[in-house]
Homo-oligomer: A and B are copies of this chain.
Amino acid sequence: MNNTQFLFSAVQCGIKYPDKYDLALISSSIPCNCAALFTTNKVCAAPVILSKERIDNQVQAIIVNSSNANACTGDKGLENARTITSKLASELNIPEESVLNASTGVIGVQLPTDKITAAIPELSSSLSSENQNLFARAIMTTDTVPKHVIRSFSTSSHTYFIEGFAKGSGMIAPNMATLLSFIVTDASINKSDLQTLFSEAINKTYNCITIDGDMSTNDSAFILSPLSDNPLSKEELPLFYEALYSLLEELALLLVKDGEGATSCVKITVKNAKNQNDAKLCARSIAESLLVKTAIFGNDPNWGRIACAAGYSGATCDQNKLSIFFEDTPLLLNGTPQVYDKNKLLEIMRKDSYDIIIDMNIAEAGWSYWTSDISYDYVKINSEYTT
């Protein structure tokens, strides 16, 4: 995406690994409104505390590091985050209060602040409108592919872009979404509309994916939109929302597909539940069940585990009305097990992504979650992470 407002850069400053891009920057030539969603974890990282403080300011830059979460690092951690944003502000000649901060990586280790501040001049001088791929790569931790998605939308007078980045992999839970995500757009949107639409779109995308059910100390999603005297009109906002939703949905699916050790991405849809809350509870309970996730890994259509997770979800559930489908193949119909073609099921389950539908047959509410499987590699990645 060719734009001149937003510039990107990334450098290798050796936070943990010698050859990893681990410090990244988004900078805007125009002061921006920023909307954001943060982790609701009571143990939250220093950059989350700092960015929350500054979120209502005019924002011009976000500095991000990987390889260290700057979480559980006490007062010293917060001081380090301030030192870093202060150094960047003076280097870019912008107010310190206009700089936000995000971190991802190991918890409980102090940042090597000297290494980071020493790298800030190079980080600032290498800003470019064409460094998006480098930025996407620098924010990765256990992700295996960078996640970078672009959308555009047109009003009667103008075509706008929205560009988004995310990193995720483990610790993705529906209570927030992804570890880190950054969205920029050249469309000017007033602050309260920006927050409302961003929250709504995230609720239906990042908040509907689950990899391991944990919720990180660092989850942060930001969107930057330039301040102007002529923001989008009320009539134009739905065009923006549609493009934003589509972008976040694609990023969410990329996150699930790249879940740690994941081999499948499965959409769990609950329909005809008593109400939307029940549909969410039920879909999430199934999407988070370890027994369901290991069965998905093994290509085993063990629908009993799905019925079991529906039953303990807390949703109203009548086992004599429950039906379960893999794509269009019924395995349970109104509480009665069905005979099915095992080869056909194997064909479905061997696909990279497929649908499991749970029909509660009670009322008309529905909801979907995307989930990944739990494989040997998930255990390998997570048992060897810090040592």
Contact = CB atoms under 8 A, between A and B. Distances in A.
A387 interface: yes
A384 B296 CA distance: 10
A111 interface: no
A380 interface: yes
Q: Which of under 10, 10 to 19, 20 to 34, or 35 or more describes the interface residues of A?
A: 35 or more
Chain A interface, >50% SS class: loop
Interface in A298-325: 298-305, 307-312, 316-320, 322
A212 B291 contact: yes
B43 A384 contact: no
Interface string A148-159: 000000000000
A337 to B, nearest CB: 5
Interface string A87-116: 000000000000000000011111000000
A335 B75 CA distance: 9
Contact of A319 (B72, B297, B299): B72
A298 B384 CA distance: 6
Given A214-B309, A295-B383, A312-B175, A304 B42 contact: no
A343 to B, nearest CB: 12
A304 B71 contact: yes
A317 B72 contact: no
Interface string A355-387: 000000000000000000011101110111111
A126 interface: no
A216 interface: yes
A298 B381 CA distance: 10
Interface of A: 39-44, 69, 71-74, 106-110, 170-171, 173, 175, 212-217, 289-291, 294-295, 297-305, 307-312, 316-320, 322, 331-332, 335-337, 374-376, 378-380, 382-387
23 contacts: A71-B304, A71-B308, A72-B304, A72-B332, A74-B336, A74-B337, A107-B304, A108-B303, A170-B291, A175-B312, A212-B290, A212-B291, A213-B290, A215-B311, A290-B382, A294-B383, A295-B383, A297-B383, A298-B382, A298-B385, A300-B384, A374-B379, A376-B380
